[in-house]
């Protein structure tokens, strides 16, 4: 599950945003707050935060966004339970002020939270150091407790599908445009990165069904090539595309020879037709054999094969 947690100093705008979501937000849980109005809720939280002057970034904010196939099965109460359990694992208690809002305006239901790090007794309950990393671990622990797939498990499955699709597309593509189109037909989007020195220098792959432009500002969907595999580099992809391009040119040359043969035979006498046919048959045979040589026979043979080091 995608998730995020960070400490910061907020204004009433953060509470207004969480409680709105284009008019579709649902307040699923709040704790130690009397008001229902965002502006008054902010004042309540700020007055508690001021009880500990040592805490500058007094608010913990973030979200949990399950994969669609998981979120569709989770009830709102179950999603709130998941969030509360994860928050408690990083120090949140019943003495903290908590706001949980479920957003459903995007295609993936997700939950936002705002927590006052300073509890009602003036104690800082949540450590800021590595809070995002610790919250991610907490979410994974709760997922296992609830028999839900973690973001790591889902990520491994997605990366394998991406690599399999990429290797299949590389067998038939001659340039990056063809590679992009082949991957799109397989259900993936390729976004390449470039620089002036080497041109295309990297790529990111994402499943089309995972693309969510409304949450892209929060986190980038998909994975970089280096995150998908460490055995296939962008230079390997460029080389493979170039090889395919050259083989296509050889095939075009063979087609041209067939055309020339037909023209020659049409213009030749009966005696010369037989000689012309024999003279080019060997050339066609050699070109065809060369063209049909496989560039790689399996995912393990060429592009993913690691060179062994020689030790003396």
> Does residue 308 lie within any of the structural domains?
no
Residue-wise pLDDT for 186-221, tens only, equals 999 999 999 888 899 999 999 998 887 655 555 578
pLDDT for the residue numbered 158: 95
Query: Domain tally for the chain?
Result: 2
Residue-wise pLDDT for 228-265, tens only, equals 999 999 999 999 999 999 988 876 665 665 565 566 55
CA neighbor of 18 nearest in space, from 126, 123, 113, 87: 113
Residue-wise pLDDT for 89-107, tens only, equals 999 999 999 999 999 877 7
Residues 208 and 108 in one domain: no
Q: Which domain holds residue 228?
A: 154-237
| Cα–Cα distance for residue pair 113/15, rounded to 1 Å | 9
Share of the chain above pLDDT 70, in %: 78
Helix axes 76-89, 131-145, angle to 10 degrees: 130
Residues 186 and 143 in one domain: no
Where is the domain boundary, 98, 133, 149?
149
> Does residue 72 lie within any of the structural domains?
yes
Residues 136 and 201 in one domain: no
Residues 18 and 136 in one domain: yes
| Cα–Cα distance for residue pair 298/59, rounded to 1 Å | 52
Residues 169 and 106 in one domain: no
Q: 221 or 80, which is more confident?
A: 80
- Rounded to the nearest integer, the mean pLDDT of the chain is 86
Residues 6 and 80 in one domain: yes
The CATH number of whichever domain residue 101 belongs to comes to 3.30.930
């Amino acid at each position: 599950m995608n998730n995020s947690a960070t400490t910061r100093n907020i204004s009433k705008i953060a509470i207004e945003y969480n409680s709105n979501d284009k008019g579709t937000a649902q307040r699923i849980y709040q704790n130690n707050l009397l008001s229902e109005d965002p502006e008054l809720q902010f004042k309540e939280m700020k007055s508690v935060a001021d009880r500990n002057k040592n805490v500058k970034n007094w608010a913990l904010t973030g979200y949990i966004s399950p994969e669609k196939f998981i979120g569709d099965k989770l009830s709102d109460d179950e999603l709130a339970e998941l969030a509360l359990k994860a928050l408690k694992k990083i120090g949140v208690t019943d003495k903290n002020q908590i706001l949980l809002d479920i957003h459903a305006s995007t295609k993936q239901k997700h939950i936002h939270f705002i927590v006052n790090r300073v509890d009602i007794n003036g104690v800082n309950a949540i450590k800021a150091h590595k809070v995002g990393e610790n919250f991610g671990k907490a979410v994974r622990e709760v997922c296992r407790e609830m028999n839900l797939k973690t973001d790591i498990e889902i990520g491994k499955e997605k990366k394998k599908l991406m690599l399999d699709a990429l290797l299949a597309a590389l067998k038939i593509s001659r340039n990056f445009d063809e590679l992009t189109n082949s991957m799109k037909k397989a259900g993936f989007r390729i976004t390449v990165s470039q620089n002036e020195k080497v041109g295309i220098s990297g790529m990111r792959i994402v499943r089309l069904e995972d693309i969510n432009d409304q949450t892209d500002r929060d986190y980038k969907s998909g994975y970089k090539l280096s995150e998908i595999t460490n055995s296939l580099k962008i230079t390997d992809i460029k080389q493979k595309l170039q090889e395919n391009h050259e083989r296509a040119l050889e095939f075009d040359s063979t087609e041209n020879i067939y055309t020339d043969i037909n023209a020659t035979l049409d213009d030749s006498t009966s005696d010369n037709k037989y000689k012309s046919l024999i003279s080019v048959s060997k050339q066609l045979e050699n070109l065809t054999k060369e063209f049909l040589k496989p560039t790689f026979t399996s995912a393990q043979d060429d592009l993913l094969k690691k060179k062994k080091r020689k030790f003396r």
